[in-house]
Amino acid sequence: MTDLKLRVKEMIIERLKLEGMAPDQIEDQAPLFGEGLGLDSIDALELVLGIEQVFGVKIEDEAAGMKAFKSVQALTDFIAEHRKA
Amino acid sequence: MTDIPAHLPHRYPFLLVDRVLEREPGVRVVAEKLVTNGEPYLQGHFAERPLVPGVLLLEMLAQAGGFLEAEPLHGAAIFLAGVQDARFKAPAFPGDRLRLEVDAEGAFAGLMKLKGAVSCEGRGLCTATLLVKRL
């Protein structure tokens, strides 16, 4: 697991208070919403705020969210792409 | 001076904001509510010792939060979607002039998160984080 992906998983667990869950229990390709982790719209807002706080990356609108929240892998790629070097 | 009934759809006896003191849409609002003896809920909460129910302090913060929206809320469906970390430190009594401070934390897909604090003459009474959903 890459460092960034691990940090993304840790951020998700901490921000959403997924107590008792370990980073390696979150599958890279599993959808975050609906099936998969089964997150809801409140979780989405928490993630948007967490991503901004931890990684300095803004998810501006729902279109960007759709792309970024497909899976942990998609979110990691999104952060890597938009993060200032 | 903000025209409160023009902005909020709430009415007596459930309009719980009297004045808007500061307003920066999307960022911060400071409003005021004067608790009077005539508030209907004080009759039964409690018979011998009237004090404002804690849940109504949260409602006051939510209504103050309505002024974070730039546009009037008439016709908009706006709901309380969540309450986090609510703390009630001291009660509010009839005669208290309550200061309602709300700061926007962020928004995504029609959902807004705000941090609120109720105080009276510098004494903190209540703090909470609220989630408000607009459809």
Q: How confident is the model at residue A72 (pLDDT cuts 50, 70, 90)?
A: very high
Q: How far is CA A59 from CA A16, B24, B80, in A?
A: 17, 22, 23
pLDDT above 70 covers what percent of chain B? 100
| Closest-approach residue (CA) in chain A for B106 | A49
Q: Looking at residue A39, what is its pLDDT?
A: 84
Buried b (16+ CB within 10 A) or exposed e, B40-52: eebeeeeeeebbb
Chain B residues lying within 8 Å of A41, measured CB to CB: 81, 109, 111, 133
Q: What is the pLDDT of residues B40-99, one digit of tens each?
A: 999 999 999 999 999 999 999 999 999 999 888 887 878 899 999 999 999 999 999 999
Domain definitions of chain A by residue range: 3-17+27-82
| pLDDT mean over A72-78 | 95
Interface predicted TM-score (ipTM) of this complex, two decimals: 0.81
Count of pairs with CB atoms under 8 A, one residue in A, one in B: 32
Closest CA to B125 of B29, B51, B24, B46: B51
Which of B103, B105, B108 is best to mutate for the A interface (most A CBs within 10 A)? B108
Determine contact, residues B101/B33, Cβ cutoff 8 Å.
no
Q: For residue A35, report the phi and psi dihedrals to the nearest 5 degrees.
A: -75, -165
User: What's the number of domains chain B is made of?
Assistant: 1
Q: How far is B134 from chain A (nearest CA, A)?
A: 12
What is the average pLDDT score of chain B?
94
* Nearest CA among B106, B118, B125 for reference residue B16: B118
pLDDT level of residue A85 (50, 70, 90 thresholds)? low
- pLDDT at A35 exceeding the cut of 90: no
Token representation of residue A68: 């970024």
Q: Write down the architecture of domain A3-17+27-82 according to CATH.
A: Orthogonal Bundle (1.10)
Optimal mutation site among A16, A17, A45, A60, interface B, most CBs of chain B within 10 A: A45
pLDDT per residue over A42-59, tens digit each? Answer: 999 999 999 999 999 999
Place of tokens 């009594």: B93
Rounded to a whole number, what is the distance in Å from the CA of A46 to chain B's nearest CA? Answer: 9
Q: Which of B108, B112, B131 sits opposite A65 (nearest CB)?
A: B108
Mean pLDDT of all residues belonging to chain A: 90
Q: What's the Rg (C-alpha) of chain A?
A: 12
Please say if the pLDDT value at position B114 is more than 80: yes
Range of the domain at B96: 4-134
Main-chain phi, psi angles of B69, to 5 degrees: -75, 135
- Cβ within 8 Å of residue A11, ≥6 positions away: A50, A51, A54, A55
Mean pLDDT of B102-115: 94
**Global pTM?**
0.89
Interface of B with A (CB under 8 A): 81-82, 105-109, 111-113, 131, 133
Q: How far apart are the first and last CA of chain B?
A: 27
Average pLDDT value for residue range B15-38: 97
CATH classification at residue B98: 3.10.129.10
A45 contacts in chain B (CB < 8 Å): 106-109, 111-113, 131
- Is residue B45 part of the annotated active site? The answer reads yes
Which comes out higher in pLDDT, residue A37 or B65? B65
